[in-house]
Amino acid sequence: MFRKILIANRGEIAVRAIRACRELGVRSVAVYSEADRNALHVRLADESVCIGPAEPSRSYLDVPSIMSAAEVSGADAVYPGYGFLAENPKFAEIVSKSGIKFIGPSPQTLELIGDKIRTKEVAAKVGIPLVPGSSGATDLEGALKVASRIGYPVVLKASAGGGGRGIRIVMNEKELREKFQVAVQEAEISFGDGRVFVEKFIINPKHIEFQVLADSRGNVLVLGERECSIQRRHQKLVEEAPSVSVDERRRREIESAVVEFCREIGYEGAGTVEFLMDEDGNFYFMEMNGRVQVEHPVTEMITGVDIVKWQMRIAAGEKLRLGRVRRNGFAIEMRINAEDPDTFLPSPGVVEELVLPGGPGVRVDTHLYQGYSVPPYYDSLLAKIVVWGETREEAIRRGLRVLDELVIRGKGLKTNTEFHRRVLQSREFREGRHHIGFVEEMMV
């Protein structure tokens, strides 16, 4: 195991990683911006290094500053978490060439799965169904031909996109002509890669992702699926495991294909292979995310597998303990954000009153404490409230109970707690009939 790990992140995922380090007997190094000087992850880490001003581009995205912190602290590994530099192949390469272990996939693998077109080619090779669309990047004329063949509506996607970014839905030929060049320009500005491809827009699908762990020996362990269909503008808000829409036969089929896919690309570490599932239960490959997901706790709650610790163990060269994973009960995660529950506009402020829920089957991942000032510069995630139940109905009831207990109040600070209550109380969610367009329908 490593001697000292630098956590190249902030917020609740940094706190989560520091706790994993502590339990593994590894020293942790926190990095922080000037805005995060009093953050919880800085207080909990064994050491801390300031890496720059509040702006992410000058701190958490500043590779030279992070590498300087790693060298000064003597860290022998870097844990990236999610977001920021977690899936940046150049960062992974720089870390590795510095003689420090990057806790995640290789730079080559990150580069591959960051290219949606190449990743789809691999998925097709191992027999995973793809959404009908262009075979690769296309120009406007090619996009028009593909759309005419598969029928509208279609989706324009940036080849280098991810995390719900670089997506435009097009309803007809007129819109395609109007939006295509805009999509290309957005892709170039956002990702430095203007390639765009076209896919059939599947109406009211479910978003299903499969959690994997893979070691350096080619062993791949699938920990089951999560459903992430409650989302707004492609950003997830509620996640659960397992999905009530996936039966055991289909689960095993997809898990087998996921194993072949990971072996084909030589994957190492934790990751998720993501699918859309249509109303008839057909699965279509979307992408692979080469990092830990925000929603990983729901899988941990039903399997007992510590995904973050295993990321570190795999990077240190440990072999996975293979065997069929036992899954028990149902878990639901609610992302509590600093935002207006009706408009979803960001709402930072100072935490003046904080009461976190507890009791059986409840987990809270957060970086909040009373008196903490939520900065306006970063993601609005305040806490992840995760509940478990022997049945899905018990998990929902427990979720409603903890929402009643949760108190996060402060000057200028609002949260989306009421939004989550509305979701859990809705008939569509309780009956498992929700889909990725559910939030927009609910907000009308």
Q: What would the pLDDT profile of 394-405 be if each residue is shown by its tens digit?
A: 999 999 999 999
- pTM, to two decimals: 0.91
In terms of Cα–Cα distance, which of 8, 63, 76, 3 is closest to 36? 8
Segment 296-321 mean pLDDT:
97
Segment 343-370 mean pLDDT:
95
Distance CA 78, CA 295 (A): 21
Instruction: Kindly report, as residue ranges, where domains of CATH 3.30.1490.20 are found in the chain.
Output: 132-200
Average pLDDT across the chain, whole number: 95
Helices (H), 126-160: 140-150
Distance CA 444, CA 442 (A): 6
Spell 44-80 as b/e; 16+ CB within 10 A means b: bbebbbbbbebebeebbbbeebbbebbeebebbbbbb
Instruction: List pLDDT tens digits, range 84-143.
Output: 999 999 999 999 999 999 999 999 999 999 998 899 999 999 999 998 898 888 999 999
Domain 4-89: assigned CATH number: 3.40.50.20
Question: Can you list the positions of beta strands (E) in 278-403?
Answer: 283-289, 330-337, 353-355, 362-366, 381-389
- Angle between helix 63-73 and helix 89-97 axes, rounded to 10 deg: 30
Instruction: List pLDDT tens digits, range 312-322.
Output: 999 999 999 87
Banded pLDDT at 443 (limits 50, 70, 90) = low
Catalytic option among 16, 195, 251, 291: 291
Question: Taking 90 as the threshold, does the pLDDT of residue 82 lie above it?
Answer: yes
Rounded to 5 degrees, what are φ and ψ at 218? 90, 5
Question: Taking 70 as the threshold, does the pLDDT of residue 69 lie above it?
Answer: yes
Q: Of the ranges 98-107, 166-175, 249-258, which one carries the lowest mean pLDDT score?
A: 166-175
Distance CA 8, CA 63 (A): 10
Q: 291 catalytic, yes or no?
A: yes
Give percent of the chain with pLDDT exceeding 90. Answer: 87
Segment 387-416 mean pLDDT:
97
Banded pLDDT at 343 (limits 50, 70, 90) = confident
Question: Taking 60 as the threshold, does the pLDDT of residue 444 lie above it?
Answer: no
Instruction: Kindly report, as residue ranges, where domains of CATH 3.30.470.20 are found in the chain.
Output: 206-443
Q: Left if phi > 0, otherwise alpha if psi is -120 to 50, otherwise beta: which for 59? A: alpha
Torsion of CA 252, 223, 382, 46, to 10 degrees: -170
Banded pLDDT at 380 (limits 50, 70, 90) = very high
Question: Taking 90 as the threshold, does the pLDDT of residue 390 lie above it?
Answer: yes
Spell 375-400 as b/e; 16+ CB within 10 A means b: eeebbbbbbbbbbbbeebeebbebbe
Q: Scanning the structure block, which residue is given the tokens 């095993």?
A: 252
Give percent of the chain with pLDDT exceeding 70. Answer: 99
Segment 282-289 mean pLDDT:
94
What's the pLDDT at 163? 60
Indicate the fold that domain 206-443 takes in CATH. D-amino Acid Aminotransferase; Chain A, domain 1 (3.30.470)
What's the pLDDT at 233? 81
DSSP of 95-122, one letter per residue? Answer: HHHTT-EESSS-HHHHHHHT-HHHHHHH
Spell 153-182 as b/e; 16+ CB within 10 A means b: ebbbbbbbbbeebbbbebeeeebbeebbee
Domain 132-200: assigned CATH number: 3.30.1490.20
Segment 46-64 mean pLDDT:
98
Segment 400-415 mean pLDDT:
96
Give the CA radius of gyration of the chain: 21
- Three-state DSSP class for residue 282: coil
What's the pLDDT at 164? 64
